Structure 1
Amino acid sequence: MKHYITKALLLLAGAVYTQTSQAQQLNSSKFMKTPESIIPFQQGYFITDLGAGGDPSAKDGNGVIWKMDKKGQGTVFATGLDAPKGTAIVGHTLYVADVDKVKGFDVSTGKQIFTLDFSATGTLLLNDLTKKDEHTLFVSASDINKIFTIHLDAGGSYEALKLQSDVRGANGLTYDATSGRLYACGFGSLKTQDGLIGYIDLKKQPDTFIPLSERKGFYDGIEMTANKKQLVISDWVSFEKKGILLLLDIASGKITTVKAPLMNGPADFTLSGNTAIVPAFLDADILRIPLN
């Protein structure tokens, strides 16, 4: 009996090790406060940081954009933002959603060279950005359940997608040029896990958000795999260390959970091959998580 108990304990220990060994912390120190979005650039990453307090709507001027190299060391790229979140790079400009403005920064100098003001819409929570083409972005506004098209030419302009129904807590966005689909997920109402994952077919009118699954959650980031067959979505699950990554098969709508340690606020991640690079918002870490 003792032999079997010992063997069972060893197997359990091995299982735990396999589970917890699938996440690697990439930042070499706690240089961030509340990292929200990460995007690859050259040999490293840009990371947006809401700053101390982590209030996503506060105009407090303590927001930072960091550059992190492959050794996990962070240097300041830009300061004086309020609560910077989603990012997109077009040409030599890094665009960032910051409370009620979309700001653009020269990727070489960190100098702000673009501002588009959304205050007239009533939003204080512009969230994710995704690129459509060299002249166009999409941005989500979580607090007013809307998604906007941004035209970058001539100083910038925008208009809301005329959706038949709102995307509750509109958050993560990713665009597939082949299908003309804008994939989106929602954080929901904040009070309950009622966000959805779906898409808007921009080749058809009217603009309609079509859910891909009935599963609800506190969804944040969304990306498409290289083969364009799956979506990867981050779900906070709760405001504790219970966050997970999901894989959604686009054709069937089937959802599976990526086997990885639970995260504390998995935010707007990026994909690198078959791994996700995920900001853990509430732990101030950047995690590398294999998807299989």
Structure 2
Amino acid sequence: MKRISVLAFILMSGHAFAQQKINNSAFMHAPESVATDNNSYYIADIGEGGNPTKKDGNGIIFRMDKKGNGAVFAKGLDAPKGAFILHHTLFVADIDKVKGYDLSTGTQLYNINLAPATAFVNDITAINDTTLVVSATDVNKLFLVYPGKNQRVEELLYTTPIKGTNGVTYDARSKKLYVCGFGGNNKPDGQIGYIDMTATEKVFKPLTSRLGYYDGIALTTHDTQLIISDWVAFEKKGILLKLDLASGHITTLNEELIAGPADFTLDAAGAAIVPAMLEGNVLRYNISK
């Protein structure tokens, strides 16, 4: 009985961290980010050729149902990346603009220009109902974007630069903005850390000495752990990391490596929905226990 119980535990553990491809056809080109309203997945796809900085008009946002069927939600973008849903609007980062789309109709509601301050806006999160935080990878900066009636953009000033500023997520309870970096000069020297948004002088404080090509970042349901994606290399070597905020301990979650784990999201069940950008798929990992 003991042997059977141990075997069952191993099988269940393997299943818990198994990789599942959730798109049922190859309709994507270079998916960089995914957001969900728990009914559908919204996938920001850079487009054919996968050039993240080219204004070529071939970027697409796909809406995919739970069965893995994809359809065009919005087209004519350039290289859409970070996707974030705030209320009933899907915001995406598109080279030097933040664009917003009505979830019901796909109608474009916002087109907020961040040029010439940046030409590589990357990820988006919200710190309240009226304020977005947008990362700018090319200039190692963060910007506050106010998409209301009086639209405006301002730089979020903080000390200790973040090389290749990339993934962002906000903890409303602790008022901490968690950020990870992709690194600089094609080196995997990005960091994982946070900024206390209540502080008068804002400082980026690293949470670990581990460096990497960090892309997506998300908080688990109880705000006790961070999940971070690390490309590791520009081939199928990517991993998902879990960082315990109390201990600082980091573990690798996946066994099968990912081809370009870009900006992911966690669904209502706590699973990570991860774009494999280099192979044009979206993967699901059951990471919660």
Partner of 1:34: 30
The yes-or-no answer on 1:118 pairing with 2:105 is no
Residue 112 (structure 1) shift? 1.1
Output the CA distance in 1 between the equivalents of 2:173 and 2:16: 37
The yes-or-no answer on 1:245 pairing with 2:244 is no
Which residues of structure 1 form unaligned runs of 5+?
Answer: 1-10
Partner of 1:208: 203
- Matching residue within 30, 51, 54 for 1:55: 51
Residue 133 (structure 1) shift? 1.4
The alignment's C-alpha RMSD in Å is 1.8
Which of 1 and 2 has greater Rg? 1
Residue 42 (structure 1) shift? 4.6
What SS is found at the alignment partner of 1:138?
strand
Partner of 1:4: none
Which residues of structure 2 form unaligned runs of 5+?
Answer: 1-6
Partner of 2:156: 161
What SS is found at the alignment partner of 1:242?
strand
Output the CA distance in 2 between the equivalents of 1:19 and 1:154: 48
Residue 224 (structure 1) shift? 0.3
The yes-or-no answer on 1:285 pairing with 2:263 is no
* More displaced stretch, 107-116 vs 229-238: 107-116
Q: Which residue identity is paired with 2:180?
A: C
Partner of 1:7: none
Output the CA distance in 1 between the equivalents of 2:263 and 2:60: 16
1:157-212 Cα distance to aligned partner (Å, 9 max, x none): 11111111211100000000110000000000152110000000001121110000
What SS is found at the alignment partner of 1:150?
strand
Output the CA distance in 2 between the equivalents of 1:130 and 1:70: 24
Structure 1 stretches of at least 4 aligned residues deviating more than 6 Å after TM superposition:
none
User: What TM-score, normalized by structure 2, do the two folds share?
Assistant: 0.92
Residue 124 (structure 1) shift? 1.4
1:119-176 Cα distance to aligned partner (Å, 9 max, x none): 121x111000001111111000000000011112224211111111211100000000
User: What TM-score, normalized by structure 1, do the two folds share?
Assistant: 0.91
Output the CA distance in 2 between the equivalents of 1:174 and 1:126: 15
Q: Which residue identity is paired with 1:28?
A: N
Q: Which residue identity is paired with 1:144?
A: V
- The answer as to whether partners of 2:36 and 2:85 remain within 8 angstroms in 1 is no
Output the CA distance in 2 between the equivalents of 1:216 and 1:60: 33
What SS is found at the alignment partner of 1:110?
coil
- The answer as to whether partners of 1:114 and 1:155 remain within 8 angstroms in 2 is no
What SS is found at the alignment partner of 1:153?
coil
